[in-house]
Amino acid sequence: MDRDPRDFLQRYLPRRRYFEVAFWVIFYAIGAMVNTKIAELDVKRVGLNVPPWGPAVWEWSSHMVGLALIPALIAYEARFPLHFGSFRKNLPWHVLGSVAYSVIHVVAMVSARKAFYAWQGTSYDYGNWPLELFYEYLKDFRSYIFILLIVGAYRLFMLRLQGEATLLDAPDSGPSEGSIERPERFLVKKLGKEFLLPAAEIEYVQAMGNYVNLRVRGRDYPLRSTMAAIEERVDATKFVRVHRSYIVNLDQVVEIEPTDGGDATITMKDGATVPCSRRYRDGLRRIAA
């Protein structure tokens, strides 16, 4: 009997972070084990005089540093997405990002190796730094691109699985020319089906690259748009911009807690927290009063 994809989605989404972390941990652990064995075979084949634990230290130090950099790389890709509309604009940022990724990877990796070798009462020589940095960059650039491909493919899969929202077309008898259409509903396409989502049920809107996420009843519905465009289309008496990347529905706000730096943290009815930057606090107070 075929399983309904919606059942899988309902089970997966609350635990998706655990699965995502587990994927990267397993991915890098397998890579470290395989490369350790290859390095051991190469050492025996060439006849290098290295400690028996040397290949394991080399590979595990490299892979564990790479694993530690995954969250930063995912956040960087979200900040500079390589979509069709932003590829040329953001490509230079990823060239710089790949260099930074490689330098951090090498410095941390070599530091870990030196520390372990010192603990064993010996020393680790990395060799010619300029030459080795260039060599490592060629490998790290390949890894950088591969990680971006995995992240991008996974994001597309999740967008397809969760569904994408679109604005409903205005009726012929709608507002007069020049006025801004404020949709009362969004059309959501999900798993081959379509249904209407009342705008009033949106808890908050979050910017995500070329998309904005509409948060409704604990689920995210991506809409290809910008925060500025959404801000113009929603009811300004209910939806308020509180951050460069967030718009909240005042009806869903439970608490606004100031922070020491002049910003604030907004708690929603579902328990989620949304940042409120200092520049938007006064506007939030005026509308909420």
Q: Is residue 115 part of a domain?
A: yes
Q: Domain for residue 72, yes or no?
A: yes
Give CA–CA dist 126/109, Å, rounded.
Answer: 10
76: domain range? 5-162
Span 203-231, pLDDT tens digits: 999 887 777 888 888 777 777 788 888 88
Residues 205 and 260 in one domain: yes
156 plus 224 within the same structural domain: no
Q: Please indicate, yes or no, if residue 282 is contained in any of the structural domains.
A: yes
Rounded to an integer, what distance in angstroms lies between the CA atom of residue 101 and that of residue 252?
40
In this structure, is residue 175 part of a structural domain? no
pLDDT (tens digit per residue) in 138-168: 999 999 999 999 998 898 787 767 666 666 5
Residue 174, pLDDT score: 44
CATH at 256: 2.40.50.1020
Region 248-258 average pLDDT: 90
Say yes or no: 13 and 154 in one domain: yes
Indicate the pTM of the whole model.
Answer: 0.63
Round to whole Å and give the CA distance between 188 and 166: 6
Sequence-distant (6+) residues with CB within 8 A of 183 are 167, 168, 199, 233
Q: Lay out the sheet containing 264-268: strands in order across.
A: 253-258, 264-268, 273-276
Strand-pair partners of 153: none
Domain boundary among 162, 191, 220: 162
Reduce the DSSP state of residue 127 to 3 states and report it: coil
Looking at the structure of the chain, the number of domains it has is 2
What does the block give as tokens for 47? 């006849």
pLDDT beyond 70 at 172? no
Q: What is the pLDDT of residues 47-101, one digit of tens each?
A: 888 999 999 999 999 999 999 999 999 999 888 878 655 677 789 999 999 999 9
Residues 137 and 274 reside in one and the same domain: no
Picking from 57, 63, 60, 58, the residue whose alpha carbon sits closest to that of residue 28 is 63
Place of tokens 């989620």: 272
Domain-terminating residue out of 162, 196, 231? 162
Residues 200 and 145 in one domain: no
Q: Are the beta carbons of 210 and 81 closer than 8 angstroms?
A: yes
Residues 113 and 226 in one domain: no
Query: Is 42 in the same domain as 134?
Result: yes
Tell me which amino acid residue 181 is: E
Final residue of a domain: which of 129, 162, 195?
162
- pLDDT > 60? residue 277: yes
Identify the pLDDT of residue 175: 43
Do 192 and 158 reside in the same domain of the chain?
Answer: no
Position 179 confidence tier, pLDDT thresholds 50, 70, 90:
very low
| Residue 146 covered by a domain | yes
Shared domain for 70 and 191, answered yes or no, is no
Q: In this predicted structure, what is the pLDDT of residue 2?
A: 52
